[in-house]
Chains A and B, each alone.
Chain A
Amino acid sequence: MTDAYLAIVLHAHLPYVHHPEHESFLEEDWLFEAVAETYIPLLLAFDRLRRDDVPLRIAMSLTPTLLEMLVNPLLKDRCVRYLAQRAELADRECRNGRRTEEHRLVADHYRRHFSLARDFLEKRCGGNLVNAFRELQDAGHLEVLASAATHGFLPLMLTPNAVRAQVAVGVSTVERHLGRRPRGMWLPECAYKPGLDDVLADEGIAYFILDAHGILNGFPVPPSGVHAPVRCPSGVAAFGRDLESSKQVWSSEEGYPGDGAYREFYRDLGYDADYEEIRPYLHADGVRRNVGIKYHRVTGRVDLGEKELYDRPAAVRRALDHGAHFVFCRQHQLRFLRGHVAEPPLVLSPYDAELFGHWWYEGPEFLEQVFRVAQHVRDDFTVCTPSDYLDLHAPRQVSTPSSSSWGDKGYFEAWLNGACDWIYRHLDKAEQRMVELAREYASEPPSPSVRAALNQAARELMLAQSSDWAFLMTNRAAAPYAEKRTRTHLHRFTRLYNMIRSGNLDDGYVGRIFGLNPVFADMDYRVYL
């Protein structure tokens, strides 16, 4: 045991996508893919670590929208259906006489993978993955961070009450699902501007996480940089992202996931298979898309058609090597930092959870190996969570962090540019109107009908505020869907606003649109006061 620390933080988030009006819906696959390829593989890895008594301490943000989807009955059923279909497809591939023996070995891996995932979801978790996360938390292995209610981009919200509402509903939703009040807050997109920490302090949040330059450009400049948290004027602690360990996993030049042995994401059976064979596993429009069965490995900088066959055991071995290498690098980094940083040094490594498994297929095995190896180097550093660190070492650096995000170019442009800037005038107007309604009904209790409409208006506003929509518009990927979601929620909000204002309430409409997006069932519009 030593006074040097490594904290790994995984940010698990998806926007709320729920379309009961369709038998199947393309964007719902985001959740099913993440469950099949990231959340369950990570939980299985954590189970193996616990079975082997390997010390496990990890922090994860489970965003409110993700939690609400994971417990949604329709999405749970559809997720089981997705896993069953994929297992069936993999089984057919195993028996496909036109595949080589090498192909069948890979297909057999997928057959077992999807079957295992389905068993895990149905039998181990009773259909509810939140149960597994909660169990890990209660056993002392997992610290869950909150996030804003719908991952709203807080620095671009002009109405302070709207920021407070996103934070308050985010914290209470995570508490409702996990049974514990979270101490940490994952700011959506790590986006911060001075003063935001005051809102977090009001909600009892002890810390949040920023990209490195948010800390390094703080005022005054903190002498220990990102290797110890800073104390904001509000008293809330801010942790900074470690650059070196981030690069090792993220960088397109030096990152592990680009290794030739790893599974190639972009070469998918959905495009390679005979059309009639794959048609039953595509969406109703019959367009070829990824189906999650991929026979090839990264290989190198070659065209997709020249990728070599995936060798699962070799890929796992490489992930184990990389896990060991990651720990080796942290040993050296922290030894160096102990001599150069006045406080007990910390390396805090935050990643998108979906990187592990979905994008980097072998990521869960890598992460598992990091914990296995780290137990042997406890003379050099201790694996902890941000809360563990704060319990041992109160922040001594006092500084106001700088405006920043972890997006492209480090500030807010990825969410505020020519492709998406039109949304803000409408969001801002809706925020003002929501506050206006909340104030009007603050002292005089509304009728049940009006209360339901007010609460639904708050939900529609929050759903429109998801940072994902602006991001998708910027990247031109799924942009029509993102635009439609933004416009639809704003339109519904405005209709509710007009109904409440005019007194012509349509209870059927209010109930119907809640059924389409049954999120935050305990919403109380007074959160906008």
Chain B
Amino acid sequence: MSDAGRAVPYIDRGEPLPMSYAEDRIVAMVRDPEHVFAYWDVDTETRVAGRPLVLRAHCLSEGRSFDIETDPGTMSWHLEVKPNRTYRLEIHERRPSGGLRLLAASEDVTTPVRWAGESGGETPAEILHAERRPLSRRKRPAAAGHRVAVGERAAHVTVEGVVHTARVRSGGL
């Protein structure tokens, strides 16, 4: 049996959602100190079909900007940015002359610091991941060695009718 004749498993991913809400809009969302996510929507009434869109990022903290040329079908982007800076994003249409026509601008967003006083070169705050689950979907911590305390006093606990004893340390070091 050829691949062409093989049934493709159906996965129900729910009802379709609209591709566009027919409005000129760009939204900036802070993802982390070094990334801002942008999505945009352009009304087909506003836009000249086929013209490329340009994502312009203004770093208001530094007074500079940079452009990202996007394909006509692209509607979102994860931008690389700097920590502790304020950005404003714009979506433009590229004219045949090479000039830009502003379609929409975002609210200003500020990226967080990567670490306290980072400009002063202090040690970054440690980040520990909680490895959050959904239940039965999270990876469990792998087997690893560790030390177990020895103590000076006993504590007792009854589990399922069996008394267990563990040594406990209290008092001085």
Contacts and interface: CB of A to CB of B under 8 A. Distances in A.
A345 interface: no
Nearest to A326: B149
27 contacts: A217-B115, A221-B117, A250-B130, A251-B128, A254-B144, A258-B143, A265-B140, A266-B140, A321-B149, A324-B167, A324-B169, A329-B149, A331-B169, A335-B173, A358-B135, A359-B140, A369-B157, A376-B168, A377-B170, A379-B170, A403-B112, A412-B29, A412-B32, A478-B137, A480-B12, A485-B14, A487-B15
A241 to B, nearest CB: 8
A320 B125 contact: no
B132 interface: yes
A408 B129 contact: yes
B146 A321 contact: no
Interface string B1-17: 00000000001111111
Given A250-B141, A332-B173, A484-B14, A256 B146 contact: yes
A256 B141 CA distance: 9
Contacts of A369: 155, 157, 166
Interface string A288-320: 001000000011110000000000010011101
Interface string B123-136: 00111111111111
Interface stretch (A136-144, A177-185, A468-476): A468-476
Interface of A: 14-15, 29-30, 33-34, 48, 109, 112, 155-156, 158, 189-190, 193, 211-213, 216-219, 221, 241, 243, 246-247, 250-260, 265-266, 290, 298-301, 313, 316-318, 320-325, 327-329, 331-332, 335, 351-352, 354, 358-360, 365, 368-369, 372-373, 376-377, 379-380, 402-404, 406-414, 416-418, 421-422, 424-426, 428-429, 468, 471-472, 475, 477-478, 480, 483-488, 490-491
Interface in B137-161: 137-138, 140-144, 146-149, 151, 153, 155-160
B27 interface: yes
Contacts of A253: 144
B13 A257 contact: no
Given A324-B151, A365-B159, A484-B12, A33 B168 contact: no
Contacts of A409: 32, 127, 129
B58 to A, nearest CB: 19
Contact of B149 (A265, A325, A475): A325
Given A351-B130, A416-B31, 15 more contacts: A30-B135, A109-B160, A217-B125, A250-B130, A252-B131, A316-B164, A325-B149, A328-B149, A328-B168, A331-B169, A365-B159, A409-B129, A416-B29, A480-B12, A491-B14
Contacts of A325: 147-149
B157 A411 contact: no
B116 A211 contact: no
Given A30-B135, A213-B127, A259 B157 contact: no
Contacts of A332: 173
A477 B135 CA distance: 10
A412 B30 contact: yes
Contacts of A241: 128
Given A377-B170, A410-B127, A158 B155 contact: no
Contacts of B46: none
Contacts of A490: 15, 17
A250 B17 CA distance: 38
B134 to A, nearest CB: 6
Interface of B: 11-18, 21, 27, 29-33, 35, 37, 39, 41, 75-76, 78, 112-117, 125-138, 140-144, 146-149, 151, 153, 155-160, 162, 164-171, 173
Given A252-B141, A412-B30, A421 B39 contact: yes
User: Which of B37, B114, B128, B151 is most buried by chain A, counting CB atoms within 10 A of its CB?
Assistant: B128
A425 B128 contact: no
Q: Is the interface of A mostly helix, strand, loop or mixed?
A: helix
Nearest to A332: B173
A252 B138 CA distance: 13
B134 A359 contact: no
A247 B29 contact: no
A203 B59 CA distance: 35
Contacts of B143: 258-260, 298-301
Contacts of A156: 29
B134 A478 contact: yes
6 shortest A-B CB distances, which residue pairs? A487-B14, A411-B32, A320-B166, A484-B14, A491-B15, A216-B125
A328 B159 contact: no
A212 B76 CA distance: 31
Contact of A411 (B13, B112, B148, B171): B112
A106 to B, nearest CB: 13
Given A211-B127, A410-B127, A259 B146 contact: yes
Contacts of B134: 15, 30, 468, 471-472, 475, 477-478
A105 to B, nearest CB: 12
Given A48-B157, A218-B116, A483-B13, A406 B140 contact: no
B112 A328 contact: no
